[in-house]
Each structure stands twice: as structure tokens, then as C-alpha cells.
Amino acid sequence: MNIFSSARRLTVAFVAILALMPALNASANPLEGVPSGEYEVDPTHASVLWKVSHLGFSTYVGRFNSFNADLDLNSADFSKSSVSVNIKVDSLDTDFPFPEEEDFNKKLSGSWFKSAEHPSITFVSKAVSDLENGKNFTITGDLTLMGETHPVTLNAVLNGATPSHPFKKVPLVGFSATTKIDRTVWGLSNYAPNIGAEVSIEIEGEFVHKAK
């Protein structure tokens, strides 16, 4: 057999294997070994950030420091999973740099978000898509803000999952999610459009299996 012919065949076989690998990886279940059931967010490894245009010159960034989230995970059929989130409006934090204006966050939560009448922002999922490429999916649900409820779709990523947390020794899953909303739809229209009507939301969360 010609040595060049052999090398050619090996090259063709190698290329075929490389071409097949994405399909093999896509078919693997990234949640294999991770039990279905109820999970709760680990607040020490989670965040809810929001970003809005400030007069078109910069992007203003804030966050909510107090929230909880519950995940009902279906490892075998991910699309049957669900999630709910409750955010405390008074935990709004802009990291405003001047101590003499320490009530700035309270002003925003009280005057803008009407926290006295509506102390919580909630999200309840209605549909979760199947995982694409083992990690990408969408979450569609109802966002309630200032007493108004409207549908929102989150673009999410399954960052990873393990049947045993490296430190806590319990099942763990980690997600990232983003979305954009028009805040005026919920009646939060202060200074729009000079302060952007479009708000970008970024969510990070590690969920640990609830002990029975």
C-alpha cells in the first residue's frame, strides 16, 4: 500500500471524527447524574444587574441586593423545568459615590418603583425551551413590576452542573440569563427617553439542591 494513500485515508478518517464530535457532544445530556427536584439560589453566588442609557453618554448600572429564586429542575426533560424569582425593591443599589446623598437609592426605589405600594418584583416562568447545543435555552414568563404584569423572554445559558458541589457536596447547577425590557410598558416612565426606556437585565445564579 502506498504510504501517501495510507496517510490520505487516515486524514479522511480523522476529519470525519472531528465532524462527528459536535453531534456527539450535542446529544449528551449535560445534566446526567444531576437529580431532578427543587433547587434554591445561592445568594452568595448570584446577582441581578440592570443597565440603562444615561442621556446617551453612558450606561448607568445598578443592582438589586436582596432576592430569592426557586428552580424546579427536570433533568430528563429540561423543557419541563420552571423557575420563580422574587426581588425586594428596597434593595436597589446604584453604588452612588457621595455619602451625603445616601438616600439616593431610597429615592429611586420609592419615587420611581413605588416600593411602598409594590415592594416586590416577581418573575414566574411559563415555558422553558429544550437545551440547544447542551447549554443555550430560553425562559418565557410573566414579569410583575409596579403592579403591572407583562411577558418577558430571557436568553439563558446553562453554565454547568454537577451532582456534588465542590464544597457543599450537594447537587448544583449554574445559569446566566439576559433580557431587555421597555420599562415604560410597566409604567416606569420617569425621564424617558432621556433616561433610556430600554433596560438591559443580567442575571447570574448558582442553584443548590434543597435538602429534604
Q: Do 62 and 24 fall into the same domain?
A: no
pLDDT band with cut points at 50, 70 and 90 for residue 100: low
10 and 48 belong to one structural domain: no
Question: Which residues pair with residue 37 across a beta bridge?
Answer: 73
pLDDT confidence of residue 16: 43
> 72 and 8 share a domain?
no
* Per-residue confidence (pLDDT) for residue 97, from 0 to 100: 78
Q: Taking 80 as the threshold, does the pLDDT of residue 197 lie above it?
A: yes
Rounded-to-10 torsion of CA 143, 145, 147, 153? -20
Question: Is 21 in the same domain as 98?
Answer: no
Residue 5, by phi and psi: left (phi above 0), alpha (psi -120 to 50) or beta?
alpha
Decide if pLDDT at 18 tops 70. no
102 with 139, same domain: the answer is yes
- Tell me, yes or no, whether 4 and 95 share the same domain: no
Average pLDDT taken over every residue of the chain: 89
CA distance linking residue 166 with residue 34, whole number of Å: 14
Q: What angle do CA 62, 67, 73 make, to 5 degrees?
A: 120
Statement to judge: residues 194 and 142 lie in one domain: yes
Number of folded domains that form the chain? 2
Give the pLDDT band of residue 96 (cuts 50, 70, 90). confident
The reply to whether 185 and 83 lie within a common domain is yes
- The answer on pLDDT for 119 being more than 60 is yes
User: How would you classify the pairing of strands 120-128 and 136-145?
Assistant: antiparallel
91 and 124, same domain (yes or no): yes
User: pTM, whole model, 2 decimals?
Assistant: 0.84
CA distance 21 to 7: 21
Assess whether 120 and 17 both reside in one domain: no
What percent of the chain stands above pLDDT 90? Answer: 78
Domain match, 48 and 86 both: yes
Q: Are residues 64 and 144 in the same domain?
A: yes
Non-local (6+) Cβ contacts of 82 within 8 A are 71, 72, 125, 128
Q: What grid cell was written down for 133?
A: 447545543
The answer, yes or no, to whether residue 5 has pLDDT greater than 70, is: no
Q: In terms of residue numbers, what domain contains 111?
A: 31-209
